[in-house]
Amino acid sequence: MSSTLVLAVVLLMMLASFVVGRQRALATAGGHTRALHSRPPYYGSYVALWAAVPALVLLLLWVVVEPMVVDMVVRNSLPDDVRALPPDKLSLVLTIIDNLVRGRATVGDVPAYAKEAAARQQSLHATASWAMAVLVIGLAAIGFFFGARRIAPTLRARNHVERAATWGLVACSAIAILTTVGIVCSMLFETLHFFSMVPPQDFFFGLVWDPRFSAAGRDGSAGQFGLIPLLWGTVFISLIAMLVAVPIGLLSAIYLSEYAHKTVRAWVKPLLEILAGIPTVVYGFFALSTLGPLFRDIGASVGLDVSATSALTAGVVMGVMIIPFVSSLSDDIINAVPQSLRDGSYALGATQSETIKRVVMPAALPGIVGSVLLAVSRAIGETMIVVMAAGIAAKLTLNPFDSVTTVTVKIVSQLTGDLEFNSPQTLVAFALGLTLFAVTLLLNIYALHIVRKYREQYD
Amino acid sequence: MTDSALPMTAAMANRAPRKLVLNEKRVRSRYAAERRFRAYGIAAIAFGLFFLAWLFVTLVVQGYGALQQSKMRLDVNLDAATLAPGGKVDDTTLRAADYTALLRTALRDTLGVGSDRAQRREAYALLSNGADNELRRIVMADPTLIGKTVPVWVSASADVDTLIKGQIARDLPENQRRLKDRQIAWVDKLVADNRLKKRFNGALFVNGASSDPEQAGMGVAIIGSMYMMLVVLLTALPVGVAAAVYLEEFAARNRWTDLIEVNINNLAAVPSIVFGLLGLAIFLNFFGMPRSAPVVGGLVLSLMTLPVVIIATRASIKAVPPSIREAALGVGASKMQVITHHVLPLALPGILTGTIIGMARALGETAPLLLIGMVAFVVAYPATPFDPATALPVQIYMWAGAPERSFVERTSAAILILLAFLIVMNAAAVLLRRRFERRW
């Protein structure tokens, strides 16, 4: 029986338990709702929870654990000489068995022990599925009888149900934590695996990025995994993006909050924010198809050699995408500066722009720095624009017209196509991802800290 | 008062009149600086708006052409001997029949091509590779046509399409063109005979992936994206609301809740590609879920959307006035009843607005989907969320990388369709807020 079918059965049983529980409560009270502690649906939910929750937990555990156990049993039952094979040969055998089990076509001739193992895996899986169906549905039935037997007019069904619901809420809010734990653990695990093949100092301080193909790694010519060129590309492109986004974002925020008429503001602010809502793949396409060729043609007409995928193109487009982040955050911060400071400045005879430059900006500066840092972390983690517009050659260059590459581009390029999870060529992506995660996390925490501290200052 | 004032004015009158404005030049320059500063502000805004307009105009100008596709009207003799040998008309024989031969015969007759093989090859190149599929669909929909000669509209090849749309220059030397002089002459003749014209390109919305631009469509991507949005709705909304209710209504302020809160704020700012790595390591490698499946993409996107839903829900729960809670508690409701019967219904518009905005963001997200194998060449519609599919933004990414000229306009059209979905979702969010938001 498939797990989906079992799930459906359990859900049906849950529904039936609700009805039965509700009826039974009414029956025990002799049809008088007032004799009951809680209202009838609570009794129904009480029985339904007993029927469904233990069974569903078991089902979930089973679905997760069963394949691993079956895998292990099958692997241990392979002949000794096969188990003694080197890891890459062994993984090939396992792939063949997996293909046989799934009924896919296999390449080359299949050894007899693989056929045998596949048959064993299939029979084990079939047995396990039946065992699961019996156990899960049995548990649901036991839960149902247990819950139904406890129904009595004095049972505080509502309190029980509400306590269960509260635990449900706690579990949901723990998912946020679990996600972070999942991110850190999964990447840490694969990163450590990577560092067992490539020393960390070669990764963090290496000046050359040349991973080779995963097949090439086998015959001794290991690739080089230097982080520095990728990090430089990321920083370089982010820098160009900030050179576009910070002045434009800041100036438009100042104009909108200090000068613009209310109706102008009501129209222009949402229009600018559309820029942040456009999917990044659209910016990537625009950079690739319009801006890149445009910059190349302009460069050619003044005698500069501009690559079609250049740091400049990616940086400018990314800068445009980030304008709304800078402007709306700065807008909030500028509005938080108290009017009294401005009035004081006007009273001394300063013009409006002098007030802004000498009074409002210095007062708002920490908050603006915070918002710029948030924008930087956004730029560092941006993927699609750089994948499409920045190129793939990892170079340490200062020339904005040359193509550079970034950490995110390499994560994508190392993880698309055929994957092999025990080659450093694939695993390096997780090390890159962990580096990216750590950098953006620190930037975010620091920036949020600054912004919050600043906000409290004038409250 | 007047006594003391008089000597003062007298004393002042004795002195030389003081200039009210000390240095006109300096004031002028200060005012000029003021005007310049304003101009910078206007220029910055103008740059942003210009870029926005440029982007949209470029996309529309490039993309609207893809809504039409050059089609050819051929009088095809649906020869019974070819289609249903032995008079057997059933699905299997009709599916396997050689429609290309029928189309080629019809094309030869129309153009008057003899038996010269080079000439024939050039003539056949005018037809799309997928034209036989189109004819098959027509015949299978109405088998009574077999044995008759019927006029059908089938797609012309991408080269003909670009020629009709004026996207390739006719005056290049012949060896630099994809179409030879003879082929261009045929195309002109067909156009003059009213047999070749641009018609609405339904395939763009319906078909799956194809390496022939004229047959490529976004059907699979649209369905894949819809499955993903369904998964996001079914997981991120309940979990996010539950988490927000707990944090806002039940949780004591302690280290545990502080930790959750910091976590949620940080998750909202984690780069999207990191979620892709999570999906690859946990969902694909650890749990062994299928690659390219919308259900995995949906789960990854719902983890990304979760913080958005939680933050929006908390804000709208906070906006429900305490008096409502107190009134319900006062008539004997339990805390859970207060929340489910009163607070959540009142907060619902805000929650839904936040969810829709979060989903709109998830719909446009590409990077994490690249890592879990959504970059796939999928021809058939996915029957369930566990079957391989692509997503709208991923389809855009794939088409953007295709070398053919015809894919440029299709990419732009795909982007316009994606943007249309986003605009509809955001407009729904705004309407919901306008219509149902209450102020106490």
Chain B: residue whose CA lies nearest to A350: B30
In a domain, B163, yes or no: yes
Residues B236, B196, single domain; the answer is: no
Are the C-beta atoms of B358 and B305 separated by less than 8 Å? yes
pLDDT at B1: 43
In this complex, do B366 and A382 lie within 8 Å of one another by their Cβ atoms? no
* Of residues A151 and A448, more confidently modeled: A151
Nearest to B366 among A268, A384, A437 (CB): A384
Residues B376, B403, single domain; the answer is: yes
In this complex, do A172 and B282 lie within 8 Å of one another by their Cβ atoms? no
Minimum distance, in Å, between the CA of residue B111 and any CA atom of chain A? 37
Give the number of other CB atoms < 10 A from CB of residue A89: 11
CA–CA gap between residue A370 and residue A400 (Å, rounded): 26
Give the number of other CB atoms < 10 A from CB of residue B254: 8
CA–CA gap between residue A159 and residue B260 (Å, rounded): 26
pLDDT (tens digit per residue) in A228-271: 989 999 999 999 999 999 999 999 999 999 999 999 998 999 89
Of A294, A318, A449, A314, which is closest to residue A371 (Cα–Cα)?
Answer: A449
In a domain, A70, yes or no: yes
In this complex, do A356 and B264 lie within 8 Å of one another by their Cβ atoms? no
In this complex, do A289 and B62 lie within 8 Å of one another by their Cβ atoms? yes
Instruction: Read off the pLDDT band of A103 (50, 70, 90).
Output: low
Structure tokens at B418: 């994606």
Are the C-beta atoms of B252 and B346 separated by less than 8 Å? no
Minimum distance, in Å, between the CA of residue B330 and any CA atom of chain A? 18
Residues A396, A306, single domain; the answer is: yes
pLDDT at B13: 54
Q: Which residues of A touch B266 (CB under 8 A)?
A: 180, 441, 444-445
**Total count of domains within chain A:** 2
Q: Looking at A131, A155, A179, which one is the last position of a domain?
A: A155
pLDDT at A106: 62
In a domain, A184, yes or no: no
pLDDT at A253: 94
In this complex, do A255 and B272 lie within 8 Å of one another by their Cβ atoms? no
Minimum distance, in Å, between the CA of residue B48 and any CA atom of chain A? 6
Chain A: residue whose CA lies nearest to B336: A162
Helices vs strands, H then E, count in chain A: 18, 2
Instruction: Read off the pLDDT band of A198 (50, 70, 90).
Output: confident
Structure tokens at A238: 């982010």
Residues B315, B427, single domain; the answer is: yes
In a domain, A24, yes or no: yes
Structure tokens at B150: 């019927």
pLDDT at B387: 87
CA–CA gap between residue B203 and residue B406 (Å, rounded): 14
Residues A146, A231, single domain; the answer is: no
CA–CA gap between residue A116 and residue B202 (Å, rounded): 51
> Which residue range(s) make up the domain with B109?
68-201
Residues in chain B: 440
Between the CA atoms of B50, B53, B57 and B63, what dihedral angle is there, to the nearest 10 degrees? 120
Minimum distance, in Å, between the CA of residue B399 and any CA atom of chain A? 10
Residue among B274, B299, B365, B377 with most chain A CBs within 10 A, to mutate: B274
Which residues lie closer than 8 Å to A156 by C-beta, 6 or more apart? A37, A38
Query: Distance between alpha carbon A195 and the CA centroid of its chain, in Å?
Result: 23
Are the C-beta atoms of A291 and A313 separated by less than 8 Å? yes
**Total count of domains within chain B:** 2
Residues A323, A409, single domain; the answer is: yes
Residues B287, B251, single domain; the answer is: yes
Q: Which residues of A touch B411 (CB under 8 A)?
A: 285, 289
SS3 B111: helix
The partner residues of A378 in beta bridges, in order of sequence, read none
ipTM above threshold 0.90: no
Q: Determine the average pLDDT of the residues in A92-118.
A: 73
Chain A: residue whose CA lies nearest to B425: A277
Residues B271, B357, single domain; the answer is: yes
Query: Distance between alpha carbon B159 and the CA centroid of its chain, in Å?
Result: 26
* Of residues A86 and B264, more confidently modeled: B264
> Which residue range(s) make up the domain with A233?
224-458
* Helices of type H across A255-394: 262-277, 280-286, 292-301, 311-336, 339-347, 352-355, 361-381, 384-389
Q: Looking at A155, A188, A213, which one is the last position of a domain?
A: A155
| Edge-to-edge order in the sheet of strand B149-155 | B149-155, B68-77, B196-200
In this complex, do B263 and A180 lie within 8 Å of one another by their Cβ atoms? yes
Residues A148, A228, single domain; the answer is: no
Q: Determine the average pLDDT of the residues in A288-314.
A: 88
Residues A409, A317, single domain; the answer is: yes
Residues B171, B242, single domain; the answer is: no
Of A420, A379, A414, A418, which is closest to residue A394 (Cα–Cα)?
Answer: A414
In a domain, A411, yes or no: yes
Per-residue pLDDT tens digits of chain B, which is 440 residues long: 444 444 555 555 556 555 555 678 888 899 999 999 999 999 999 999 999 999 999 999 988 888 888 888 888 888 777 777 776 777 777 777 888 888 888 888 888 877 788 888 888 888 888 888 888 888 888 888 888 888 888 888 888 888 888 777 777 787 777 788 888 888 888 888 888 888 888 888 888 888 888 888 899 999 999 999 999 999 999 999 999 999 998 888 888 888 888 888 888 889 999 999 999 988 888 777 888 899 999 999 999 999 999 999 999 999 999 999 999 999 999 999 999 999 999 999 999 999 999 999 999 999 999 998 888 888 888 888 888 899 999 999 999 988 787 888 899 999 999 999 999 999 999 898 888 877 76
Which residues lie closer than 8 Å to B406 by C-beta, 6 or more apart? B158, B161, B162, B213, B214
Residues B266, B153, single domain; the answer is: no
In this complex, do A182 and B274 lie within 8 Å of one another by their Cβ atoms? no
Are the C-beta atoms of B262 and A446 separated by less than 8 Å? no
Q: Looking at B142, B166, B201, which one is the last position of a domain?
A: B201
Residue among A68, A246, A281, A421 with most chain B CBs within 10 A, to mutate: A281
Percent helix / strand / coil, chain A, rounded to 5: 80, 0, 20
Are the C-beta atoms of B281 and A186 separated by less than 8 Å? yes
Of B341, B313, B274, which is closest to residue A434 (Cα–Cα)?
Answer: B274
- Cα–Cα separations (whole angstroms), residue B199 to A326, B63, B65, B66, B322: 45, 15, 11, 10, 61
In a domain, A335, yes or no: yes
Chain A: residue whose CA lies nearest to B393: A281
Residues A108, A236, single domain; the answer is: no
Report CA torsion sign: B148, B151, B153, B156. Answer: positive
In this complex, do A168 and B58 lie within 8 Å of one another by their Cβ atoms? no
Q: Which residues of B touch A194 (CB under 8 A)?
A: none
Residue among B366, B394, B434 with most chain A CBs within 10 A, to mutate: B366
Residue among B37, B359, B375 with most chain A CBs within 10 A, to mutate: B37
In this complex, do B44 and A249 lie within 8 Å of one another by their Cβ atoms? yes
Backbone angles phi, psi at B307, to 5 degrees: -60, -35
In this complex, do A187 and B277 lie within 8 Å of one another by their Cβ atoms? yes
CATH number, domain with residue B363? 1.10.3720.10
Report CA torsion sign: A188, A194, A200, A203. Answer: negative
In this complex, do A351 and B33 lie within 8 Å of one another by their Cβ atoms? yes
Of B286, B273, B288, B281, which is closest to residue B369 (Cα–Cα)?
Answer: B273
Instruction: Read off the pLDDT band of A217 (50, 70, 90).
Output: very low
CATH number, domain with residue A253? 1.10.3720.10
Residues in chain A: 459
Q: Which residues of A touch B283 (CB under 8 A)?
A: none
Q: Which residues of A touch B336 (CB under 8 A)?
A: 162, 165-166
CA–CA gap between residue B137 and residue B95 (Å, rounded): 9
In a domain, B211, yes or no: no
Give the number of other CB atoms < 10 A from CB of residue A432: 28
Give the number of other CB atoms < 10 A from CB of residue A437: 23
Minimum distance, in Å, between the CA of residue B96 and any CA atom of chain A? 24
Interface contacts (A, B; CB < 8 Å): 236
Residues A263, A147, single domain; the answer is: no
Residues B191, B254, single domain; the answer is: no
Q: Looking at A155, A177, A205, which one is the last position of a domain?
A: A155
Which residues lie closer than 8 Å to B142 by C-beta, 6 or more apart? none
In a domain, B409, yes or no: yes
* Of residues A5 and A213, more confidently modeled: A5
Residues B381, B302, single domain; the answer is: yes
pLDDT (tens digit per residue) in A40-60: 889 999 999 999 999 999 998
Residues B292, B347, single domain; the answer is: yes
CA–CA gap between residue A20 and residue A28 (Å, rounded): 12
Chain B: residue whose CA lies nearest to A357: B37
Residues A258, A143, single domain; the answer is: no
User: Would you say residue A160 has pLDDT above 50?
Assistant: yes
